[in-house]
Amino acid sequence: MVNLELYRVFYAVAKCGSLTKAAEELYISQPAVSQAIKQLEIQLGGQLFNRTHKGMELSETGGKQIFATVEKALKLFDEAENKYSELKDTATGIIRICASDTVSTHFLLPFIKKYHEKYPDVNLILQNCTSSETIELLKSKKGDIGFVNLPIDDSDINLMTAVMQLHDTFVASDKFSELMQGTVDLKRLQDYPLLMLELSTATRQAIVSFAHSQGIHLHPEIELASLELMTELAKSGIGIACIPREFVKHELEEGTLKEIKTSPSLPTRAVGLALPKNESMTFAVKEFIRMINDGGKN
């Protein structure tokens, strides 16, 4: 296949009618222009120009036959380059965001609102996913940005940064007030009705792993898929919920739930921002990530 740049030189010479003027327009030397024309003629197998004392004229059986097609093709390439340049500097298109409902509600909501106000032409698609589901969507290129519970050890995605700290704790209604005086031994909670997420979730696995390391076995009386439902059950007095403090901040402030402080306390976790591997980011995605990293200030 002929190098596209040879056609660009051909087009410039045809428009200018002169090797010298074409060289000036292309910002290359005249010998380079002359060599490019010769190379193109050799590759195409025919004479493209008639060299006259007035300059360079398109040959009847060569240059004139391909000029219109070359002109049209170069304009299409220029349009494609301009379009790509606009995409790199303009927030348009679609961003597919993968996150749990809880992360979306308690962390992403203000960023989504601010981003939509700033870039209304971007279509934001929120996909409700667990961490494992998010990772699979990123791997299959069906998600652009993912929020996952850390730690994650998967070389097939790009883990960018931790964006939110999570402090798992135990909360309950006043029905369990005897546990709210000072600090209680974590092992003591084995004897109480616990509300926890399903075992398949990263949150539950992290808590179970830590408890086992302390020789403690926390067996929930009720397992749930929703932190919101767990919160409501805890408020009704059905059991003690194990939940990140950040997700029940309102309930703790209004007093419908109270914290049970344990020794040892559960370790701090984090939510991380992840991206598909080896995938170039659009300007829209870069701007969303920048807004997250800036804390929504700009």
pLDDT at 218: 92
Q: Which two tokens stand for residue 191?
A: 């004897």
How would you class 191 by CB atoms within 10 Å of its CB: exposed for 0-12, middle for 13-18, buried for 19 or more? exposed
Q: Please write the tens of the pLDDT for every residue from 192-249.
A: 999 999 988 878 888 999 999 999 999 999 999 888 999 999 999 999 999 999 999 9
pTM tops 0.75: no
Looking at every residue in the chain, the average pLDDT score rounds to 91
